A and B are shown apart, each in its own frame.
Chain A
């Protein structure tokens, strides 16, 4: 589904990503794990087209994404839920969810896609008429992910979906993501804490200083000495 190879990114003459490569097969849940500043968000933003890489390839279902705009990538079926959620504060929950249903035409009808978004995050139904600014952090995260479902994205990029959330909310969002994966969608999560990586993750990649230093299963990561040294405190 998504194949990133030898990706290098420079921002203001600083090398942020070096030789980053990973694969996410269709229907998989893959996590990029690393400390703050390791390059996870930069990787997702580069995949989404916000940052032009210096070199490397990004392929979505054998299609080269380099040179394609964020808009084109969204229309190709990449849904993005950024770290800061970034819901439209002045639009209501219903409008936030409705927006992507007409920007990308798919086989599913807008009503089906809206229903899908609410099915995974039923709490949002109660706040349909509420503006985005009136939502809590957890509700914003839910809405942000729900919008990617309304886009009918095939690949979901979720940047720190559990960041800053109350521990009581995290299991709910984790379950929803699990349901999304069971539905057959492909999910790439950027996560700074290994403890937040869902047990059902197919594979994790550990990033450190802009490089992938480990790739394997969650159990293997827990046993790996390099991973322990990097994010040992959260194991």
Chain B
């Protein structure tokens, strides 16, 4: 009888866990793809929204997880995306691709000057500046009733992608059918794109800046430019997410830019794990579904969320990905 060498066993099991870690996102995407068939319309619509938040969070995590900048005002870009969709669909421009491209353009135009100012600061100053700009937008959306619809917001009519003919479909059928898969495709493409960005030399530069900007500078990294590009990319992802989040709700209202919404985005990141690439996607899905379930059980759901946030920060600083990512089991 032979006895297994403990080192060999450990290496083999580590390898299988690593394989599992690579396989898990694939399984996750298959589950998302199967959702309209396996879950009812209510949960499919929830997943639709979660995918929108996931896109926005992928961008936000480029700032927090990779560059070390905590934006407390990222919800402003969600609002920019949703309001762009609202204005364009109100003007009978119903092509989703055009709406998405316009939201990207608006996000860039807004993010460039804000970014130019904010990225000169770090830590709490960056956070407070982004929060200030977000609240400025919120106040504008809230007060300028004639332009923005005030607290009632502006309706977002269901746009139609060029790829699918949805003329014969009702709203629910479209949202749980072709539109769902369109957004799913967007999520995959934007996830892949973000993975390429973070794995590129640009991503390496951002990680260097996160660790120490002085060190990065004397190795030739243009800290300000990198931060600005990171900020703009995050804004673009935020706006694209905002378009998607706004579609199932059918409304763009000022609460999208409110600080609570930015707080929710940070919560989702912490929940999923901002130290992991897939953390934002997991965090958005768990948050949306957990919130839905909790709201149906208790009116004190915010209290429960507060406790959950405290537990995550204290016991699971790497979020849910830190618990389920097998590589982290070994490191702890």
Contact = CB atoms under 8 A, between A and B. Distances in A.
A135 interface: no
Contacts of B221: 71, 99, 103
Interface string B210-232: 11101111111111000000000
Contact of A74 (B204, B205, B208, B217): B217
Give the interface size bracket for A toward B.
20 to 34
A64 interface: no
Interface string A55-85: 0000000000000011101110000100000
A90 B212 CA distance: 11
B223 A71 contact: yes
Q: Which of B205, B211, B215, B222 has the most CB of A within 10 A?
A: B215
Contacts of A80: 218
A71 B220 contact: yes
A99 B218 contact: no
Interface string A167-185: 0000000000000000000
Contacts of B222: 71, 103
A155 B210 CA distance: 27
Nearest to A78: B218
A200 interface: no
Interface string B241-285: 000000000000000000000000000000000000000000000
B327 interface: no
A50 B215 CA distance: 11
Contacts of B207: 88, 90-91, 95
The secondary structure that dominates the B interface is helix
Given A88-B211, A89-B211, A90-B211, A69 B217 contact: yes
A74 B201 contact: no
A100 B220 contact: yes
Given A91-B204, A91-B208, A104 B217 contact: no
A100 B217 CA distance: 10
A104 B211 CA distance: 20
A70 B217 CA distance: 6
Contacts, number: 57
A151 B220 CA distance: 8
Given A71-B222, A71-B223, A99 B217 contact: no
Given A95-B204, A98-B204, A99-B204, A74 B219 contact: yes
Contacts of B215: 86, 88
A32 interface: no
Nearest to B201: A102
A151 B204 contact: no
Contacts of A147: 219
Q: Which of B208, B220, B221 has the most CB of A within 10 A?
A: B220
B220 A88 contact: no
Nearest to B223: A71
B212 A88 contact: yes
A70 to B, nearest CB: 5
A48 B221 CA distance: 14
B208 A88 contact: yes
Interface in A123-137: none
Contacts of A69: 217
A178 to B, nearest CB: 24
Contact of B205 (A48, A75, A103, A104): A103
Contacts of A70: 214, 217-218
Nearest to A86: B215
Contacts of B220: 71, 74-75, 100, 103-104, 151
Contacts of A151: 219-220
Q: Which of A70, A75, A99, A100 has the most CB of B within 10 A?
A: A99
A213 B204 CA distance: 44
Contacts of A91: 204, 207-208, 211
21 contacts: A48-B218, A69-B217, A71-B217, A71-B222, A73-B218, A74-B217, A74-B219, A88-B208, A88-B211, A88-B212, A88-B215, A89-B211, A90-B207, A90-B210, A98-B201, A99-B204, A99-B221, A100-B220, A103-B221, A103-B222, A151-B220
Given A50-B214, A88-B207, A100-B220, 12 more contacts: A48-B218, A71-B222, A74-B217, A74-B220, A80-B218, A88-B211, A88-B212, A89-B211, A90-B207, A90-B211, A100-B219, A104-B220
Interface of B: 201, 204-205, 207-208, 210-212, 214-223
